[in-house]
Amino acid sequence: MKMKHFLLAIVLMMLLAACSGGDSSEETGSPSNGGDDTETGELSGEIKVAAWNLAADSLTETAEKFMEEYPGTTVTVEYVSSDYDSIIPPLTAGQGAPDIMQIQQRDFPNFMHVFEGQFVDISDRLGEQEAEFAEVAMNLVKNDEGIYALPWDIGPVGLYYRKDFFEQAGVDPDSITTWDDFIEAGQKIDAELGVKMSAHSLTNDDIAETYRMLMNQLGGEYYDENGNIQIVREENIQAMQMFKNFVDADLYVQAPTWDDRIRAFANDQIATVLFPVWYAGTIKTQAEDQEGKWGIMPMPAFEEGGPNQSHSGGSALAISSQTQNEELAWAFIEYTLMTNEGQDVQMEYGLFPSWQPYYETEKFKEVDEYFGISLSEFFGEVSTDIPTIDYGPYFRDINSAMVEAIGDVVIDGKDIEEALRDAEQRAASETGLEIVE
C-alpha cells in the first residue's frame, strides 16, 4: 500500500476538523478507550520506560503530566542508547527488562521473531481502535498472533536547510530539484562560506542512514515477493551510487555519533540536514538561537520530476511480558499515544503521530514558530506517495551486511554490484534465506 492512501485520510480529517472547529483541549481518546476501565486516581505502582534522545525527553515530560493525573503512580524514564545494548540483554535473559521500551518500527519485526513471548499482546486492549493508527506503522508491530506494540510516530523525510547560508552563498533553494543540484549547491556553499552541506558518520552502522532513505525513495527492497533475498536491484544500485557521489563530492562533516551531528548544525558547520519530521524537534531544542534561520524543502529527486518521498525512523512502545504492572504500563502508553493531551507533548518534540484522530485537532495544524510553517501540513504533502518497504524479521542481519557493503563502496571504492552481491551472500549466511536473481 502506498502512503498516499494514508494521506487522503489525513486531508479528509483536516477538512472535517476545519468544519467542526476541533480543539486539542477536547480529548479524542482517554486512558479508558482501550479496554482499561481504571478511573482517574485508581492507578498505582511504579514502572520504568526505556527510550533515547529526544523521544526520552518527550516521555519525561509526558510522565510528569501523567503522574499529576494519577498521583499514586511513579513513571521513571531511563535514557538508553538506540543500539539496544540496555534492552537486548534482559530480553535475552528473560529478566530485568524495563516495563515499557522504545523500539524502532523497522526493528520490531526482528524483535518479535527473536524475542518471542517477551512482549505483551495488546490486541484485546486496543480492539477496534487499531484502525485509528496509520497502516504503514501498524503493520510493523503485529504478526498473525497479535499486536505487540503501539506505533508512536512516522517519519516522512524532508531536507532541512539554513536559509541564511543559502542566501549568503547565492543559492536559491527552489533551484534544488535533483540530487545533482544538491551536490552543486553544496560545493558552492563550501567554496563561498567554508560550510559543508551536511554531517554524516562513515565509521559505524549509521553509514547506512542516508542510503536507506535514498533506497526507499526509489522503491528499493531487500527481498523478493516471496521473502527471498534480492539486494542486487537497479534501485539499490542507483541509491548506492548517489550516496557515493555525495561522499566523493566532499559534502560531509565527519560526525561519527548522534551528538557529533547535533554539534555540527548547532555550531554552524553545516547547511542542510536530510532527516524525517521528528528531527525538527532536535533542531529546535538543540539550536534555540537559530530560530527563523531554518527552512524545509522536499527531498530532491534522482532526475527531474522523479520520485522524491521517503520514510525513515518511527518508533513503537512495547510492554515487556516481564512487567509486574501491566495495567499501569498500558495506561501510560495509552495516555501518551491515544489522547490529545499526550500527543500535544509529542508534537512539541517534532514526533509526527501515527494516531490519526489527532489530525483533527488545531494543535496538529498550527504554525511552528521556529520554522515559520505548519510542520504537519508540509510533511503531509511529502507523504502522499512514499513507497512501502518490507524490513522483515531479519532486518538487523540484512542491515549489517549492507553496512559492510556501503563501507566497501564509498570508502574502499569497491564495485557497487559486486559489493551488493557480497551483501547477499552474508545476509543469506546469517538468515538461512535463499538468494534470488
Q: Encode pLDDT of 107-125 as tens digits.
A: 999 999 999 999 999 999 9
> Same domain for 227 and 256?
yes
> Same domain for 104 and 249?
no
pLDDT attached to residue 232: 97
For residue 387, being part of any structural domain is answered with no
- Number of DSSP helices (H) and strands (E) in the chain, helices first: 18, 10
d(CA 242, CA 229): 23
From 324, 350, 367, the end of a domain falls on: 367
Q: How many domains does the chain have?
A: 2
> Same domain for 278 and 228?
yes
For residue 372, being part of any structural domain is answered with no
Report pTM.
Answer: 0.75
> Same domain for 34 and 164?
no
> Same domain for 358 and 262?
no
For residue 54, being part of any structural domain is answered with yes
> Same domain for 113 and 195?
no
For residue 386, being part of any structural domain is answered with no
For residue 9, being part of any structural domain is answered with yes
> Same domain for 55 and 110?
yes
Dihedral angle, C-alpha 295, 179, 219, 253, nearest 10 °: -70
> Same domain for 236 and 338?
no
pLDDT attached to residue 14: 36
CATH number at residue 190: 3.40.190.10
pLDDT attached to residue 1: 43
Which of 36, 66, 33 has its CA nearest to residue 49?
A: 66
Instruction: Give me the domain span that covers residue 15.
Output: 3-155+313-367
For residue 181, being part of any structural domain is answered with yes
> Same domain for 348 and 248?
no
For residue 384, being part of any structural domain is answered with no
Contact by Cβ (8 Å): 305, 181: no
pLDDT attached to residue 41: 47
The low-confidence residues of the chain, meaning pLDDT below 70, are 1-41
d(CA 363, CA 23): 7
pLDDT attached to residue 52: 94
Which of 71, 70, 73, 113 has its CA nearest to residue 91?
A: 113
Q: What is the greatest pairwise CA distance in the chain?
A: 63
For residue 141, being part of any structural domain is answered with yes
pLDDT attached to residue 349: 85
All three cell numbers of 158, joined, read: 524532508
> Same domain for 289 and 327?
no
Question: Alpha helices, DSSP H only, in 77-134?
Answer: 88-93, 108-114, 123-126
> Same domain for 21 and 146?
yes
pLDDT attached to residue 385: 85
> Same domain for 281 and 229?
yes
